[in-house]
Structure 1
Amino acid sequence: MRQIKSWAQYYVDWLTRLGIIKFSLLLAFFIILLAVAIQVGVTLLLRGNIDTVDIVRPVFFGLLVTPWAAYFLTAVVDELEDSRQRLTHMVSKLQEMRERDQGLNQQLQSNISQLHQQMEETRKAEAARQQAMQDLQSEIQRRKQTQVELEERSALLRSFIDSSPDLIYYRNEQGVFVGCNQAMEALTGKDGGELNGLTPHDVYSQDIADKVVETDGLVFSNSQPYTYEQWMEYPDGRRACFEMRKVPFYDAWGKRLGLLGFGRDITERKRYQEQLEQASREKTTFISTISHELRTPLNGIVGLSRILLETRLDDEQRRHMNTIHLSAVTLGNIFNDIIDLDKIDRHSLQLVPAPMDLPAFLSDLESLTRLMAEQKGLYLHFDLDGEFPEWVRVDGTRLRQVLWNLTGNAIKFTEQGGVTIRVMLTPLPDDKVHLRFDVEDTGVGIPHAEQEKIFAMYYQVDGRQRGIGTGIGLAVSRQLVEAMGGTVMVDSDPGQGSCFSVELTVEQLHQGATEVVSELPSLRILLVEDVELNITVATALLEKLGHQVTAARDGASALAVAHPDAFDLLLLDIQLPDMTGLDVADTLIQRYGASALPPMVALTANLIRDKADYLAHGLRDVIGKPLSADNLKRVLNHLFADTLPPPAPTAAVVKPSRPEVLDLDFLEDYAGLVGKAVLLDAVRLFDEMMPDYLLRLEENLLARDQAAIVSEAHKIKSAAGAIGLKRLHLLAKQAQSPELPAWWDNIADWIAALKESYPRDVARLKLWLQQ
């Protein structure tokens, strides 16, 4: 089949190459030759011989028929070939078209794929966009919700800040207000909008603004919070004390933006503290008064018993007199404990180290303890270990008080046996000596669990004669010893007794004895004392020492005779019927001058006050009651080492008058001039204004604002003087005079006197007007 296709292809190729005419002739020629050959062959096969006709017939027939048939066939074949070529061309075109179609189809598929991909991406992008839109809507909704919550929280926070009674404000780095709460607006009298943009100097008075700016500078310079107290003033003039807290404020990147300020009103706390202090002062006054009232008869008992012990007595009388004397001394030591307890509570306990004759001190301790022990039928062993210096520097009064408490307790809680006192001394470098006092008894003892508790205030051990004593002696003794730099220890077993040990280090003196002068010239002494018993005791003691005594029983009598040249020494009792000894001293100094007066010494049972309080009034020293010969000698030796000049004649002095409640001369003239009704209206106005004045005074006193106190007191002085309230006028005049001695010490009392006196004085003035 392939061979035929090949021949047919040759046929077509020759036809194409030669053309239809030439190929037809050539084909006719070959057909004629084939026909001749077939004729000859068939003839030879059939007949065995060939005739001319046999050759001519096929030639003629071929010449006649063959060209046309060959031409037709060739034309057909040519058409077919042409058709084939066209078909081939068409097939080729179709193939090209197919290939192009395939290419286009592939491109289309690629485009479709890309389109699908783009559509998928578009779908995904649309889905993402829709999701983003949903997320955006959710975020918008969340932000709206957050914004609502923030607004609610902001409103709540603002409401909370505004409802706070504390001041809250914010100032930037330039010290300008940027925000505040309602409490701050009330304080400044400006709302938030008015306050923003203002500086402290635009808002406060000069002194307050200076303090505010100063503390702002401390916060900014140190970048640390700062807390302090400051008195602020409201627009209506009311003052309040605030505890201010200022803290630096930073942004999220650590940059400081300004400061936040907080202020808490502590006026009531200040007022409460002042009330506590006033209560403490009143307690001190009460203790002072009780001490004075009790020491007054005690002074007589101690003094007279001491004087009687130096007279001729039989054994029984001397034993009874010793008992009276020791009881009085014991009571005096209890007073000392109470007074020291009050001083400890007020943190005003002061030690007065002075040269002390140590052997004499130990001798007195042994004598007093032996008397107490003998009265109870106990033995006393008094052992000294070491070489004792003659003089040491220590507060002998406090040390004697401590040892008296320990020995008194030892005898009190011992029924059989006795008491042993051991005193040991150890030399130290730099002229120091270490003293140890052991007070050992054979009494009931103290349980181990109780041994530390006994030094607590008012504590008493169960079973150890509970209820006997005050329960403060050991507590005061420990604090006194610790104040002297020493220690107090106890070692005890129940039923075996107790041993209390006191250890302290003191300074050794080599020339102490030269500080005491054994003999003094006879002194002319003015004794200002209102209690006859005290006069008797003090006079007997002073006259026994060789001095001349003149007694004055009140302040007026003292002022009448206390001429600078009349006496060598003034002993002033502090509590007198008409005035205080301090008033006497102040009046004499004002009258004659401090340099012209003889030495003045306080003679008082009030040991509550510090010695500096007396020295501030020109007094040279203080002698406590009951009178002690040693204390009296010490003061006299300290003040008079040389012979004094002779006395000069006395001069009479007019007794100063006390201020009256009303200025009657002024009131009569004024009422007669303007009429009672006008004056009564002025009194009512003063009565309405006075509570506010007093409130401002108390606030300024709490603030320790001297200028404001003076200003308010001046208003009261002017108003009281304008309506004839003389006592209030004078009290306010004192309060407005800070140059007066001890002004700060007295201002609270003056204000209290104003507060207490004004209702009665106003009522008295109204009554006078009505009558």
Structure 2
Amino acid sequence: MKHASLRMDKLARSSQRLNKTLLLLSGLLMLLSSTCYWAVSRLLESEQQRLELHFARVVEIINEHEVFLRDVVTSNRQSAFSLAQLAHPVSVVESLPIPGRTLLKARGLEMSLAFSLAYSSGYTAADVRRALALGVELTDYYGGFWARSFYASPQVFVLAPGRASLAIPYAGDQRQHLPLLPQHYMAAVDRLGQLMATPGLLADQRVHWLRSPAPLYDDNLRIVAMIRFDADYTLHPAGTPQQPLALAAVMDTEQIDEFERVLRLSVYNQFTLISPEGDVLMGELGVDDAAPLGLSFNGDGLRFKMKAAEGRPWTGLYAITYQNFLRYAKWPLLGLGLTFIAAIILGLWIDHWFKSRIVVPAQRAQDRLAENEAFNRIILHNAPVGLCVVRRYDRQLLLENERAVQWGIASAVTHVLAQHHGDQAPGEMCLLVEGHYLQAVVVASRYDGQDVFLCGCNDVTRHVDENQLLNQARRQATAANEAKTVFLATMSHEIRTPLYGVLGNLELLSLTDLGERQRHYLEIIESSCAVLFQLISNVLDVSKIESGQMALEQVPFDPHQLVEDAVASFTATAHNKGLQIDSEIDPAMPALVEGDAGRIRQVLNNLLGNAIKFTDCGRVRLRLTVQERAGDSVLVQWQVTDTGKGIPEKAIEHLFKPFYQVSGGEEGGGAGLGLSICSRLSELMGGSMRVVSELGLGSSLSLIVRLPVVESSRAVTPAQFVPSYTQVPSLDVRVLVAEDNPVSQAVMAEQLTALGAHPTVVSDGQQALDAWSAQAFDLVITDINMPRLNGYAFTRALREKGVSVPIIGITANALREEGERCLAAGMNAWLVKPLSLGGLRQALISQCRRAAGQGAAVPEEDEDRSGWIELSDPMRQLLAETLLADVAQIEQGLAHGDAALVQQRLHSLCGALASVHAKGLYEVCQRVEEALHEAPMKGLLAEQVRALCTRLGVVAQCLLDDFSG
């Protein structure tokens, strides 16, 4: 349909262009025709003017000759020629004998015009003198007359037939255009003598014009004018009968036009001269020469007939052939003809091309349009949707199909459009017609040359019903999901709060003096509580992953250190079970990569814990290998292998499913969430988990993930560390604690007191505000969920008062949105229950610079920081993070009584501190490590370890502060 419309549009555009071209060509044709008509008319007019000029000169020459002849005759009659005139001087220049005649060349004076005299035998000397005297007279008059004339002088003869003749100028005069030669003289005289025999020629004194029957001389046709000359005694011998003489003038028509004479190019092809008596003196008359005056045309060419306007009615008839008329335009006209033929051929080709490429496809397109229109009408009336067309300006219904009539949508649509103002279509809407929900779409269009609205309706009653059911089900599911989230948050809070009381009191109990048996029971309780805490954490991790609350951090970390930390964490557990545990690191592993080290450590801890749990003898090994390095990223594999009993093949495919346990929970307990969480975490990091196991030989579980490589900077910033320990006192700080749970209140107070702080505990936010108004505090710790005034409102109230001290939120809800709300309310940090002493101390150190260490253990600057090498900013940050991580591991070892873990971390710290020339801290770490080899980690030695952790935390915090500053 669209293609057909394009064809029709193309035809319309081509027709318009063709019409414009034809109009333009018509205009050009009219212009060219007018120009050609004007040019031809101008050419004909010019040609006619030239011929009129030629004819006028012919008539003028004829009249000039007639005047000359009449004047000669009249002058001779009046002069009464006598013998006295014979006294004129005359000289014979030359005498030539010719057959039957004597031809003399004579002149009157030396510079006079010469003339010729021819006479027969019987002439005496006196007769010759008389004839010569007449010649002198005529020559003088001839010279005087034609010297004043514009035209060329004729050849004049005085004829006495059979006896004598005079010729002026003489025969052989080369100044004439067609000179009369001596050898032609007698022939010319004889032919003129024949003309004298014309009846009535010498009967009167009129000038008679005669046509020469044959060329007089030089094969040129001339006309001859004759008149009777009454001087017969001058040429006749004395004593002979006197006969009339004839004065003849031979007119050369070629002397009329100088252009014709000089260029030898005639302005006509044929010239016919007709005397007033009707005699044809020049040219020939044909049977079709009865031409009208002026211009006429015949098959041979152009005919111009002219009559003398004055004097005697001479008639001239000019014939010019078409070839001669167009001789200057022969090649242009030939080119024009060829161009015209080429234009015709080109026009025929264009016509063929236009028909084959435009007209015929347009006709086919028109046929297809007609077929499509019929087909569309069939579709319109049989479509399963209701369609109607409404005129736009008056909302009048123009067309509707059967389904629209069946549903009765026309009235509803026109009513809606009547309420809609403007030419813009209302778009999509929903109509309720007779209990049916109709989805209607109204668009603006054109129909039958009018602006219309096209409305299409579809019955969506069933879909609306289903959608309502789905919405109801979705609301129920959302409510159930929200209830589950509220349940998890509530259970997290309700479980973590008493668990905080248990773990906090156990940790405080471990700081008291206990017997061996009591400490053994305490370790069992702590281990069980740790399992319970891990179970709760796993459930919450699953909940966070499913709800999209699990967030990953992308920070640089040392993979070598991560492997060592993971192995060190499980060294004591493995040794207690009689297992060997070690690590193997690929030398190609980069020093720094970027990723979430905490989540990777969580996966490795789970894999190592499972390997130790299900291995009775042998060893457990953690391998770190580089699978592939491409550009700025590396594909890393952490592989945990063991020599346990292995995993059945049918259980491998279910291994990462939630709550699935290979042994059904018979060994080691647990809920079967660990590996499921590992798999989900690997997917979040863009990696994968791989399992290889053989029954009786052991298992291998791997985490494969691609991580960006962080290039270590070799540039050293010339900055001198001068930390101000006077601004970083010990934990001798005043802390305001807002907590509604009595058990949590007691535990928090004991923990802060154990850390050297001075806590003030209140039950809700309102009491906390009152306590803040009573005295000043260095730090605030507030629970989130409290009666009267919760932690969010309490924090906002403090911030509105301009309080800038650090505020730490304590919550039992581990979801990410809880932490975001805490930070949005104005808190500096948030912690999740249960809280350990190490975690609480680290939070205090990081949030309050006055809580950077114990007052009795503040080291001097020269002891801990003097002598250090200059470090770049990335190296300073990495060292601070490493120190904090090691301190956390040492505190964990202290809490669990794991002396091996503490020794391993202290040994690692010795190497790091020695590399930066931290001599004081290096020596303390070395002494404590050696003491742990010799004595158990109890009493004073444990206090020394805690003091060392405090010093290391202070140094790490200073490094972080300098880096951020």
TM-score bucket of the superposed structures, by smaller chain: 0.3 to 0.5
The structure in which a higher percent of residues are strand is 2
Bigger radius of gyration, 1 or 2?
2
- The structure with the largest helix share of the pair is 1
Q: TM-score, normalised by structure 2?
A: 0.39
- Of structures 1 and 2, the one with the larger relative CO (CA 8 A, separation 6+) is 1
